[in-house]
Amino acid sequence: MKIFPELKNNSKIETSIKQNALFLPDFCSLGMVFAVVIIGELLAFILTLAPLGIEQQRWNDLALISLFIQWNGLMCSAVLCLLRPLIKNQSQQFIAVISYLSMLLTIALLSELSFYIMQKYSITDIISSASHWEFLLHNLIIGGIISALALRYFYIQYQWRIKIEAESSTRLQLLQARIRPHFLFNSMNSIASLTRTRPEVAERITEDLAELFRMLLRDDHKLISWSREKELSQRYIDIEKQRLGERLNIQWQTDTIPDNALIPALMLQPLLENAIFHGIEPEINGGSIIVSGELDYNQIKISIQNSNSKNIIHRKGNKMALKNIRQRLQTHFPGNASITCKEQENTYFAIVIMPYQQIQDE
């Protein structure tokens, strides 16, 4: 009897992105084959119309060129279709290189084969003037350009799809990434309890909660001053303190951060929430959280640490929160900011580094 069966719950978002992780479309599908045929035919038209020559011959040329291009296009599709299951777990660069090379190889082989056939049955005089190597080289150059354009197109389309997917993850999910539903309902419960015994505290907590949510529901892309960010964090801690009482201890060692430094709004709150979730809630006697910060050569470094007891079974963390903060830092300070997490001797650290930017006086 296994009392607590393991539960595998991957986040739905991760899996949906993984399923579409391949930027190459499925060449085995009928729609894709049809598209290849159409594009191949258009290319055949271009190639037939481009050279200035005798008009009567064009229909003949079109037929032959179409045959050759369709053959190439369909064979390349078939190769990519067969290749897909073999390379789907590789990196994007690897997939691009392998598909490109395999397409060139297919084109080279087909050119050789068709040259041989045409020579043997002396079908045409189009190529009579061209030497064997010229024929191969021309085909490879045209094939190389078209394949490169196609791959580029697929890649851009893939990136666009990923972006759409990311954007369509609803506002609620964003909200959940930054605040646990648990917090909301527990706070409501605290308020319900305080309303009877200490109405003035209930009133204050309601105000705190309103202020937090007002900021949370506002536009995401916003920087606020450090003093404001600290104030909001303290409102959050204040609410949690009602619930956890003596178990929650927090120390602020952030005096050296200038009040006017710009911080992504509500960046600290999810980190504090994580610290409470992992460091305070699982411990009967609670624990402490230390928020320390400093200004160092125009860089602001903020670290949040909490004890992580070994005796306590680890809780599943809120990875979404970290991902969200990382994205926001990247938006505001591209390439100049970071968030890292590490565990050292049962202490868990989340460290944010970002450039020091001041509020512009108006």
Partner 1 sequence: MKILIVDDEPLARERLTHLIIEINNNYQLIEAANGLEAIEQVNKEVPDIVLMDIRMPGMNGLEAAHHLMSIDNPPAIIFTTAYDEYALQAFESHAIDYLLKPIRKERLEKALNSCSKLNKLQLEQLGLQNDEITYRTHINAQIRGTLFLIAVKDIYYFLADHKYITIKYSKEDVLAETIIEDTLKSLEEEFDHSFMRIHRNALIQKDKIEVLQKQRDGRILLKLKGIPEGLEVSRRHISSVRKLMKSSF
Q: Which residues bind partner 1 (CB under 8 A)?
A: 1-7, 9, 180-182, 184-186, 188-194, 196-197, 242-245, 281-284, 311-316
**CA distances (Å), origin 254, targets 49, 126, 233, 290:** 73, 80, 13, 10
Q: List, in order, residues 6 or more apart from 310 with CB less than 8 Å away.
A: 346
Distance from C-alpha of 188 to C-alpha of 160, rounded to nearest angstrom: 41
Whose Cβ is closer to partner 1: residue 53's or residue 317's? 317
Q: If residue 253 lies in a helix (H) or strand (E), which one and from where to where?
A: strand 248-253
Whose Cβ is closer to partner 1: residue 264's or residue 270's? 270
Contact 262, 359 (CB under 8 A): yes
Whose Cβ is closer to partner 1: residue 191's or residue 262's? 191
Whose Cβ is closer to partner 1: residue 56's or residue 197's? 197
DSSP string, 173-232: HHHHHHS-HHHHHHHHHHHHHHHHH-HHHHHHHHHHHHHHHHHHHS-SS-EEEHHHHHHH
Whose Cβ is closer to partner 1: residue 184's or residue 353's? 184
Helix (H/G/I), strand (E/B), else coil: 240: helix
Q: Work out how close the CB of 321 gets to partner 1 at its nearest, in angstroms, rounded to a whole number.
A: 15
Q: Work out how close the CB of 6 gets to partner 1 at its nearest, in angstroms, rounded to a whole number.
A: 5
Whose Cβ is closer to partner 1: residue 229's or residue 281's? 281
Q: Work out how close the CB of 347 gets to partner 1 at its nearest, in angstroms, rounded to a whole number.
A: 18
Distance from C-alpha of 29 to C-alpha of 24, rounded to nearest angstrom: 12
Terminal Cα distance for the chain, rounded: 69
Q: Work out how close the CB of 352 gets to partner 1 at its nearest, in angstroms, rounded to a whole number.
A: 26
Q: Work out how close the CB of 187 gets to partner 1 at its nearest, in angstroms, rounded to a whole number.
A: 9
Q: Work out how close the CB of 298 gets to partner 1 at its nearest, in angstroms, rounded to a whole number.
A: 41
